[in-house]
Structure 1
Amino acid sequence: MKIHLILWPAIALLSLMQAVAQNVKRQTDKHIVHQQERMVFKQWDRKKFTPTKGFLGLNYQYWLTWAWHPNYPKTDLRPLSASGPQTQRLLLVAAMKNTEEAYKKHADTLRNTALTETVNYAGAVSATDPLWQLYYKHEFHPLLQSNGPSALDGTEPTVRDYLTRTGALDWYLEETRTLAERLEGARTTNLDRGSRIIAYHRMLDEYRKLSSMWETKKQRAKLYLSLTKTNENVRQSGQAVTVPPGRTDSQIADDVLSKSKL
């Protein structure tokens, strides 16, 4: 019973407070409303600087309010006005954004230029050069994979023995080794791409000349061994080879070869 006696008065008091709160009427001051509109979004209208002077300027409220601030109605203090601080801040933010984008674009250009120059000069990435991959890698493959046995591929055992014994094979291997070292230096050295390609071209020309000389040596060694064997066979058979006067060396060689067929 005591609890009910306490709760009922409390509930009645709350209901009364809610009813009073709902009956509160919002009071607005037009002077404050005008000031809020001026400062936020509307035009700085001097006609709305209330209270006004009134008839013959006899409104004492005007003089009590604006006599202390005579320049206030003439000065536009809106933050979003053409010259307001908020407008200036927004313009400054936009200008700073444009400057930032310009700096970023300039930095990206410098980065791309630096990467391009690095790719053009760095020897560490020379293996990725398209011209090397498409052409020079294939042309220099025999040079990079050259060794002693492969240099004598396709030759007869007697020719191999002769080239090895006379030092021709050592000469060829030394030349190819030197050329391979120069090629490796051109690939790994930090060098302008154009100069690197020119170095490839020159060394490829030297390698082709060296390969041609080596093939010529092998052919000449084979011919020399063939002529030597023919001469030995002629000596053992006791046949004399007469050399008519005025014959050329090629005609003499043809006569020797014809004798070997008998």
Structure 2
Amino acid sequence: MKKSCLIIFLCFLSAVAISQKKITDKHITYQQERMVFKQWDADKFTPKPGFLGLNPQYWITWALHPNYPKTDLRPLGPLGPQTQRLMLAAAMQHTDNIYKLHADTLRNTALSEASNYSSALSFADPLWLMYYRNEFEVLLNQADSDLLAGLSPTEKQYMVSSGLLEWYIEESRALLERLEIARSTTLDRGSRIMAYHRMLSEFRKLSASWETKKSRAKTYLSIRSSARKLRAGEVSKPVSSKSDIQIANDILKKSKL
């Protein structure tokens, strides 16, 4: 009994193995190859027409759609839908890159213009750092108590009483205020640099005038002291022993030399 059951089981397995035989249809294989990766070759369409086109299977298969073998239906073919989608995606990517480049150009231009006009970056201007800051250092760090340094008490009193000190302080403060306005105002960089240049020229003239007034203070005080002594009769006027004609001749001789 057991032996017969084993024989039946083996027969069953043989029948299953035979029933699972791989079926290969060349027509299906050709179609799969054409649709996926291979060339759309009209000569590989089967069944063939046969001798004088008398193959009935050919007419049964292709009679209702004769243009099918001539139409490339591959998704990745030259004009396939997937190829068109890839081309469209590439075109859209190219357009996006152009828009991005344009947007980046506008952004860079806007940043450049903002840095060119913004007063927040005026302190970092290379020309200010390397040149104008050093030239205006005396004006930026000016202390009123140091303006009369090096003068005698009499000369200091004269500079104060004559109003020269007050004049210089007012002029320098006005110039400093203009300088701060030029640095803090939203202004084109070229206009800002030109403002620095004009104010630096004015500051140099003002400083030169102030130094001249300080250096002449001692001379003026000496002349004023001599004049007071003459008016008070403390110093006698020098008497010239030469006549007017001799004095005139001496002047003419000196002018000819």
- TM bucket (normalised to shorter chain) is 0.7 to 0.9
TM alignment of 1:71-90, pairs within 5 A: 71-90=67-86
State the partner residue of 2:27. 31
CA–CA separation in structure 2 for the residues paired with 1:20 and 1:164: 126
Structure-1 residue corresponding to 2:177: 181
Q: Find the partner of 1:149 among 137, 145, 158.
A: 145
CA distance in 2 between counterparts of 1:230 and 1:210 reads 30
Report the Cα distance in structure 2 between the residues aligned to 1:195 and 1:88, rounded to whole angstroms: 56
Q: Which runs of 5+ in 1 are unaligned?
A: 1-12, 248-262
Q: Are positions 1:98 and 2:94 aligned together?
A: yes
Match of 1:4 in 2: none
1:138 and 2:134 correspond: yes
Residues of 2 paired with 1:209 and 1:62: CA distance? 109
Once superposed, what is the RMSD of the aligned Cα atoms?
2.9
The 5 Å alignment of 1:1-262 reads 24-231=20-227, 238-242=234-238
| Residue 213 to residue 21, structure 1, CA distance change in 2 (3 Å) | farther
CA distance in 2, matches of 1:141, 1:22: 105
1:22 Cα deviation from its structure 2 partner: 11
Residue 89 of structure 1 deviates from its aligned partner by: 1.6
1:180-209 CA-partner distances (Å, limit 9, x unpaired)? 111111111111111111111110000000
Query: Matches of 1:243 and 1:94 in 2, distance apart?
Result: 110
Q: Distance in 2 between matches of 1:211 and 1:194?
A: 26
Q: Which amino acid aligns with 1:36?
A: Q
Change (3 A) 1:93 1:236: same
Which shifted more, 223-232 or 211-220? Answer: 223-232
Distance in 2 of aligned mates of 1:70 and 1:28 = 25
- Structure 1 window deviating more from structure 2 (226-235 vs 40-49): it is 226-235
> For the Cα contact (< 8 Å) 2:158–2:217, is it kept in 1?
yes
Aligned mates of 2:112, 2:87 — CA distance in 1 = 37
Per-residue CA shift, 1:98-151, capped at 9, x if unaligned? 222222222222222212111211111111111110000000111111231122
What is the alpha-carbon distance in structure 2 between the residues aligned to residue 243 and residue 183 of structure 1? 58
Q: Which moved more, 1:170-179 or 1:106-115?
A: 106-115
- TM-score (ref. length: structure 1): 0.79
Give yes or no for contact 1:53–1:59 (8 Å, CA) kept in 2.
yes
Asked if the contact 2:229–2:235 (Cα under 8 Å) also holds between the matched residues in 1, the reply is no
Indicate if the aligned counterparts of 1:147 and 1:173 stay in contact, CA closer than 8 A. Answer: no
Letter matched to residue 102 of structure 2: H
Rounded to whole Å, the distance in 2 between the matches of 1:178 and 1:235 is 42
* Cα distance between partner residues in 2 of 1:67 and 1:81: 25
How far apart are the structure 2 equivalents of 1:169 and 1:243? 40
CA-to-aligned-CA distance 1:207-232 (integer Å, 9 cap, x gap): 00001111111122222223334556
Query: Secondary structure of 1:73's match?
Result: helix
Query: Is the contact made by 1:81 and 1:87 (CA closer than 8 Å) also made in structure 2?
Result: yes
- Secondary structure at the counterpart of residue 68 of structure 2: coil
> Is the contact made by 2:139 and 2:176 (CA closer than 8 Å) also made in structure 1?
yes
Distance in 2, matches of 1:200 and 1:156, equals 35
Counterpart position of 2:253: none
Question: What residue is the counterpart of 1:10 in the other structure?
Answer: none
Distance 2:198 2:222 in 1: 36
Pair 22,97 (structure 1): closer, same or farther in 2 beyond 3 Å: farther
Amino acid at match of 1:149: S
